[in-house]
Chains A and B, each alone.
Chain A
Amino acid sequence: MSTHGHSDKFVYHEPGLQHQFSDMEQQEESVSIGMWMFLVQEIMFFGGLFTAYLVFRSKYPMAFAAGSNHLDAFWGGLNTIVLIVSSLTMALTVYYAQKGNRNLQVIFIILTMLFGATFLGVKAIEYNDKYHHGLVPIAGLNLRAKGTAGAEQHPEGKPCWEVAGHSAEPAAEHQYVNPKGEFEWADCSLAKLAQDEGYLTTAEQIGYFSNGELDGNKFRDKVRIFYYLYFVMTGLHALHMIVGLLLMTWLLWTAYKGYYNADYYMPVEMSGLYWHFVDIVWIFLFPLLYLLGRHFLHAGH
């Protein structure tokens, strides 16, 4: 990094130049390094969660595959596309800020915000689906009423690997009762598959079994860990999206007022960096949560 000459006291100060800097170049460099450092700490913040995901997926791959397969890759994929396009509109916002084109800036900020809001809307649809299917890992936060959900009916007498999967026909109206809003999961057929094929991990050989028998309840607990991580990771990501939208609202106002031009566009560029970061986190979340284990959907069992 270069060192910067300090200007004398009575020089022309550009608008937007803070008193502690001697010129815009120094200010831009500082703000930029600051933002990158902030993103580094964000990576470490999510890094803890990714580590936790890694640990439990390598311990209980079958439970994670089962849980993952119930997530709807359509919604996840749609959200991925929405975020990638929003990154494009964000990049164009920065481009037009540098060009000093106020109107296109405003248009692309609005588009970016629309895509961000779409993402959150889709997320809400997905969370709502989990709520109705008894898949929120926190006891009491699932739909308590009698429902018409898929396969969460209590398997009377059936071994857990013969319980129909979530794609099976709905149970009759009065069979499904979840009075306490518990986490519900019945199907352990993937564990059975892995047992038959002989590739259960050591942790699974302990974690899924009671007295040498596959135990649906113990399998459910591991799926519950998957959904716990799903909600924490996507929840924190959604929180970052909301912060991003607040940032965009402020940016929209200042851009509308015409604050940014070829000489002063750092706030736009920094907000852009943040926005891209949030997108990139999702690019990792999507395959880890929605796609890994998907091949089991086509494995005969």
Chain B
Amino acid sequence: MNAQDAVLETGYQSGIPPVNYLNIKTTLASWLLTKDHKRIALMYLVSVSVFFMIGGLFAATIRLELLTPASDLLETGTYNKVFTEHGIMMIFFFLIPSIPAVLGNFLIPIMIGAKDLALPRINLISLYIYWFAGALALYGLMVGGVDTGWTFYTPYSTTFSNTYVMIVGLAIFINGFSSILTGLNFIVTIHTMRAPGMTWFRLPLFVWAHYAVSLVMILGTPVVAITVLLLAIERVSRVGIFDPSIGGDPILFQHLFWFYSHPAVYIMVLPGMGVVSELISNFSRKKIFGYEFIAFSSIAIAVFGFLVWGHHLFVSGQSPYAGMVFSFLTMVVAVPSAIKMFNWTATLYKGSVSFDTPMLYGLGFMGLFLIGGLTGLFLGSMGLDVHLTDTYFVVAHFHYVMVGGQVIAYLGGIHYWWPKMTGRMYSEFWGKISAMLVFVGFNLTFFPQFLLGYMGMPRRYAAYPPEFQVLNIFSTAGASVLGIGMLMPVIYLVHSLKFGKPAGDNPWMLPGLEWRTTSPPPLENFATPPVVTWEAYEFGEGSGLDLEEARRRAAAPAIL
């Protein structure tokens, strides 16, 4: 029995390995000054959850206001602030960091067999930048908030809005550097830190997706940073290039903003696709279908994502010829997403599909992303978009992609890797209940909004004609189901930290490198540096995994 086995054996007997990254040091300073990617990921997890709840409270307020046709719960001006803050909190402080900064941070080094990210100090700095920016944004909200919409369109944001655009804009500017540094770190790590034998085409698809996301973060985020900076300068100095009264161009702001923010929606879905590739293959116990196609489709999405920003400007005064090109390119970018969908479906075919909680989220993603993606094609068609622009159809579409895509995948990923992160298993029963509540609640909330939008209900208004009320009631009712479904994991996951069954190192008998170390992993991830001899998603003999041994070690997971 070698040293690793000894550690594993002790871990198996007591349930939790004696020395892991969580209990090696427990002082506050050991957390705040850590350079361990796993601890930083956990701190990100707590932080993004806080922002998710704040954003969720704003969402709840919006849905309550829209329960009745009149603007009775909120004044219209307040309503403007509420939907703006919902967007800013959710997009900049939850969705963009969610999967990369939490799951990516935790898993990329483990999945490639490294001791840590290549630049651990940069990783910690990015967390502190995120905290600082988040605190600044919260301060901006508390002193009075901002009412421009999360898109900060000029000249309203520069000239007319008398809310706290500066503070919140500055917060977003600063927060951008957090995401740039995370992306930079991932690219470096994936290039240089792979274990012996871990070739590019043995990387889990989760890692490929994060490589693509990191490219977008590095190439896109600086552009929105400079744009927001120009906006801030213009707001302070009362002169600038977005001011039409001196010959400036407010449309240029939209171009610069969407040059980042369209690729940013891929920041908000590519990591989700990475998670789902893991879930679908592992819970079908079948090698993923078309590995290379999925890997390169991530890169293709990242590249084409930079060429489609103009589809946000179809009705903004952009040349119709430019519109046609952007419309065409929007159709093109749908192809790699479709490739992924087909490959996941083909992976399920004749697989040994099991319906554990993470897989429920994975399957939910496929259904919701399908709707979200296809309605994106509606909006990408220049002619139809004229009818649908700025209606609830748009709202429904991007919630299907961002919530139905990224949030569902994020929850799936959290459930999937929770045993690895904490060493404990959550209640499978409550997990399944909450996954189903989220799925049902989500559809009930947002499907009516497609209908509302198609019938012409505009977004961003506190009041609406009475004939839209029935569907809005459906939507608000769905939101409460969704809210409960989202709150439940908070309770049972936290509960499992203390009372959950020890998960064992490999509760689902999976071949990925992360399942070959202890749960929770030791400080530098592996007792012995791994050497990779197997292909990705290898479930057969070639995986080099002693299933008998793994079964013996695994504590019996709580099954419904």
Contacts and interface: CB of A to CB of B under 8 A. Distances in A.
Contacts of A31: 119
A62 to B, nearest CB: 12
Contacts of B249: 55-56, 59
Interface stretch (B141-149, B192-200, B265-273): B192-200
Size bin of chain A's contact surface: 35 or more
A56 B252 CA distance: 10
Given A6-B529, A37-B187, A41-B180, A60 B247 contact: yes
Interface in B168-224: 180, 183-185, 187-189, 191-199, 218-223
Interface residues of B, number: 50
A227 to B, nearest CB: 9
A224 B198 contact: no
B221 A41 contact: yes
B241 interface: yes
Interface in A132-168: 137-139
A169 interface: no
Residue from the set B120, B198, B218, B248 with the largest chain A CB neighbour count within 10 Å:
B248
B193 A30 contact: yes
User: B interface, by DSSP: helix, strand, loop or mixed?
Assistant: helix
B226 A20 contact: no
Contacts of A60: 247
A215 to B, nearest CB: 11
A52 interface: yes
B237 A138 contact: yes
B238 interface: yes
A137 B237 contact: yes
B241 A229 contact: yes
A48 B239 contact: no
B227 A48 contact: yes
A19 B198 CA distance: 20
B218 A37 contact: yes
Contacts of A203: 247
A275 B246 CA distance: 36
A41 B218 CA distance: 5
Contacts of A46: 226
23 contacts: A3-B196, A4-B194, A6-B195, A18-B120, A19-B115, A30-B118, A30-B188, A33-B188, A34-B122, A34-B184, A40-B218, A40-B219, A41-B221, A41-B222, A44-B220, A44-B223, A45-B226, A47-B223, A48-B222, A49-B230, A56-B249, A139-B238, A228-B241
Interface of A: 1, 3-6, 18-22, 26, 29-31, 33-34, 37-38, 40-42, 44-49, 51-52, 55-56, 59-60, 137-139, 183, 203, 207, 218, 221-222, 224-225, 228-229, 232
What are the 7 closest A-B residue pairs judged by CB atoms, nearest first? A6-B529, A221-B246, A45-B222, A48-B226, A20-B116, A44-B222, A30-B118
Given A30-B119, A45-B226, A52-B256, 6 more contacts: A20-B116, A30-B192, A47-B222, A203-B247, A221-B246, A225-B247
Interface of B: 114-120, 122, 180, 183-185, 187-189, 191-199, 218-223, 225-227, 230, 233, 237-241, 245-249, 252, 256, 259, 524, 529
